């Protein structure tokens, strides 16, 4: 049963019980949230298991070990080659020297494995790929230790003699591995840098790719296990898409140092890393400056580890379906929306993001930003089956739009969350179209007062919404202390604010707390219940039934 059907069933069952007088409205809300949360948790677990499985099967021993037996190798000096050099059988081929207006062509048997070792090689082909793998089981391109190698194609291709349409400086119609401890520069002057029509694997090598369009393309998958990879392109940096098989089109990063810069060519898509299916990041250091989304998947983005520095003209991280973050350090220094997906789940890690619109946006539908500028014109619509779930980690949001925004439910059960939200009255630091509940963790969300929203009364952890009589300046520290003078929560917002929502495990109804701004006492506040609103700010969290505007008090 899909999540939508589960919700319909939940609402129907709740309606029957309500009519029988056996269940309260709050119980109905909590049951609905529980069903949805369980469905998202199952989806997340399946995605993370799938991501780990894909990565564990991505690298063969030969991918990881680029060594070879020189006694079994064929050595070729490209200075002696006129035109193309063709390989027709399995084996190890060691190339050196310079080839102008020619290429290495692999046209071997379907069971053959071919290793091409580049040892200070320069290949320039003015009308086709520099390396063209027509047929083989797998081709290994190895940059020999302490060597520098360059492969370039031309700005226009001649008609292909084999009836294909190659479009990359390295073009392989079979599995492709790039490895070794040397350096390889690939210049895609026609369209793409590296193209593999099956799986593309990169380990150990220092790889520099420039391209008019996309940098590294793997039809079934792209996997990077280690090495140093630099990509500067007009289109997408790394992309995997296969319209013939929806289970493929995977990208996984398990290690290495990766730098990607995209855009400037007017391409329809200029994303940093784009996957049709699974985009899994399990390690490595990744820096992306992209014109479009930095990380993008049509199915799922899972991040379990690694250090990510992302700057995007559109979304920092986007999935049409699931974004699951369970580790790593993620900094999004520039974005339209920071993290966007149908369902967003954060269970661990450190996230620090800046967004010109929403910080987190749980919504539904495909991102339509690739064809419009600014690229933030998304096709997402209100859909209360969507969810944002935070159960752990440290989350810091600086947003001009909503800080944490869900077109469905917003559930917080752990972690430490700081929001420096909007300064305009059309958005709020917290925003949920459905239930918005808190049952654990520390939350401090500061922003404008016009659309300030509070947690629902059905929450199991108490919260305070406080609206100041005047706007507080950026850099003003908010601190909430208990009756003994102990700090319950403290935060210094990056922007001016008039409303703050605070929730922490230590808060309890009937207890009195002291709110300070810039070390000056603002007010002593007694919590009147699960949700206490002071001042005229504080809209309810969706259908959960929180405090309404005007329902608070001023001491």
Per-residue b/e over 50-71, b at no fewer than 16 CB within 10 Å?
Answer: bbeebbeebbeebbeebebeee
**pLDDT at residue number 288:** 98
The secondary structure of 404-469 as a DSSP string is EEESSEEEEEEEEEEEE--SSTT--SEEESS-EEEEEEEEEEEE-STT-B---TT-SS-EEEEEEE
pLDDT of res. 552: 39
Burial 121-130 (b: 16+ CB within 10 A, else e): bbbbbeebbb
Structure tokens at 105: 């062509």
Provide the pLDDT for residue 41.
Answer: 74
pLDDT score of 413: 96
Three-state secondary structure string covering 86-120: EECCCEEEEEEEEEECCCEEEECCCCCEEEEEEEE
- DSSP letter string over 34-85? HHHHHHHHHHHHHHHHHHHHHHHTS--HHHH-----GGGEEEEEGGG--S-E
Assigned token pair, 290: 């992209």
What is the SS3 string spanning 455-523? Answer: CCCCCCCCEEEEEEEEEECCCCCEEEECCCCCEEEEECCCCCEEEEEEECCCCCCCCEEEEEECCEEEE
pTM (2 d.p.): 0.89
- Per-position pLDDT tens, the chain of length 555: 333 323 323 323 333 232 333 334 445 445 544 555 666 777 777 777 666 666 567 899 999 999 999 999 999 999 999 999 999 999 999 999 999 999 999 999 999 999 999 999 999 999 999 999 999 999 999 999 999 999 999 999 999 999 999 999 999 999 999 999 999 999 999 999 999 999 999 999 999 999 999 999 999 999 999 999 999 999 999 999 998 998 899 999 999 999 999 999 889 999 999 999 999 999 999 999 999 999 999 999 999 999 999 999 999 999 999 999 999 999 999 999 999 999 999 999 999 999 999 999 999 666 654 434 444 445 555 566 799 999 999 999 999 999 999 999 999 999 999 999 999 989 999 999 999 999 999 999 999 999 999 999 999 999 999 999 999 999 999 999 999 999 999 999 999 999 999 999 999 999 999 999 999 999 999 999 999 999 875 555 543 333 323 333 333
The CA-based diameter of the chain, rounded to the nearest angstrom, is 91
Instruction: Please tell me the predicted confidence (pLDDT) of residue 56.
Output: 62
230 phi/psi in degrees, rounded to 5: -120, 130
The answer to whether the CB of 10 falls within 8 A of the CB of 27 is: no
Per domain, the residue ranges of the chain are 3-58, 63-216, 387-555
Judge whether 386 and 340 are in contact, CB under 8 Å: no
The H helix count followed by the E strand count for the chain is 3, 42
Which residue is associated with the tokens 């289970």? 247
The angle subtended at Cα 427 by Cα 424 and Cα 429, nearest 5°, is: 105
């Amino acid at each position: 049963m899909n999540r939508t059907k589960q919700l319909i069933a939940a609402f129907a069952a709740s309606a029957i019980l309500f009519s029988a007088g056996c269940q309260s409205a709050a119980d109905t809300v909590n049951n609905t949230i529980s069903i949805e949360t369980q469905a998202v948790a199952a989806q997340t677990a399946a995605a993370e298991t799938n991501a780990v499985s894909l990565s564990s099967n991505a690298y063969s021993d030969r991918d990881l070990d680029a060594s070879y037996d020189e006694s079994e190798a064929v050595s070729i000096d490209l200075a002696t080659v006129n035109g193309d050099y063709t390989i027709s059988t399995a084996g190890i081929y060691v190339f050196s020297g310079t080839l102008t207006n020619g290429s290495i062509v692999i046209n071997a048997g379907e069971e053959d494995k071919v290793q091409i070792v580049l040892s200070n090689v320069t290949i320039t082909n003015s009308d086709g790929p520099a390396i063209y793998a027509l047929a083989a089981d797998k081709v290994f391109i190895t940059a020999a230790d302490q060597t520098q190698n360059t492969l370039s194609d031309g700005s226009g291709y001649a008609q292909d003699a084999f009836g294909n349409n190659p479009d990359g400086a390295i073009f392989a119609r079979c599995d492709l591995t790039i490895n070794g401890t040397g350096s390889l520069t690939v210049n895609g002057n026609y369209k793409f840098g590296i193209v593999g029509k099956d799986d593309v694997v990169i380990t150990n090598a220092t790889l520099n790719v420039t391209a008019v369009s996309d940098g590294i393309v793997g039809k079934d998958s792209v996997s990077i296990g280690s090495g140093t990879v630099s990509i500067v392109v007009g289109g997408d940096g790394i992309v995997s898409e296969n319209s013939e098989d929806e289970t493929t089109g995977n990208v996984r990063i398990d290690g290495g140092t990766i730098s990607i810069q995209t855009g400037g060519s007017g391409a329809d898509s200029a994303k940093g890393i784009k996957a049709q299916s699974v985009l899994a990041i399990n390690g490595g250091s990744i820096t992306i400056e992209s014109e479009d989304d930095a990380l993008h998947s049509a199915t799922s983005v899972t991040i379990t580890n690694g250090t990510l520095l992302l700057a995007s003209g559109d979304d920092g991280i986007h999935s049409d379906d699931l974004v699951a973050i369970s580790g790593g350090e993620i900094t999004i220094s520039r974005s339209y929306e920071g993290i966007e997906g149908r369902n967003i789940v954060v269970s661990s890690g450190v996230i620090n993001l800046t967004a010109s619109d929403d910080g987190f946006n749980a919504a539904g539908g495909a991102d339509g930003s690739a064809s419009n500028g600014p690229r933030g014109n998304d096709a997402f619509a209100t859909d209360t089956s969507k969810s944002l779930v935070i159960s752990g980690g440290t989350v810091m949001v600086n947003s001009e739009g909503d800080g944490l925004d869900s077109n469905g439910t917003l559930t917080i059960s752990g972690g430490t969350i700081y929001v420096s939200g909007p300064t305009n009255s059309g958005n709020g630091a917290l925003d949920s179209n459905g239930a918005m509940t808190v049952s654990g963790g520390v939350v401090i969300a500061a922003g404008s007062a016009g659309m300030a929203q509070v947690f629902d009364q059905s929450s199991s952890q108490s919260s305070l919404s406080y609206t100041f009589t005047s706007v507080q300046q950026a850099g003003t520290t908010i601190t909430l202390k208990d009756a003994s003078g102990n700090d319950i929560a403290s935060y210094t917002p990056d922007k001016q604010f008039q409303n703050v929502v605070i929730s922490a495990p230590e808060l309890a109804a009937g207890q009195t707390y002291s709110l300070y701004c810039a070390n000056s006492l603002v007010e002593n506040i007694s919590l009147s219940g699960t949700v206490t609103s002071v001042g005229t700010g504080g809209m309810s969290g969706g259908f959960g039934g929180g405090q309404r505007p005007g329902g608070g008090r001023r001491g």
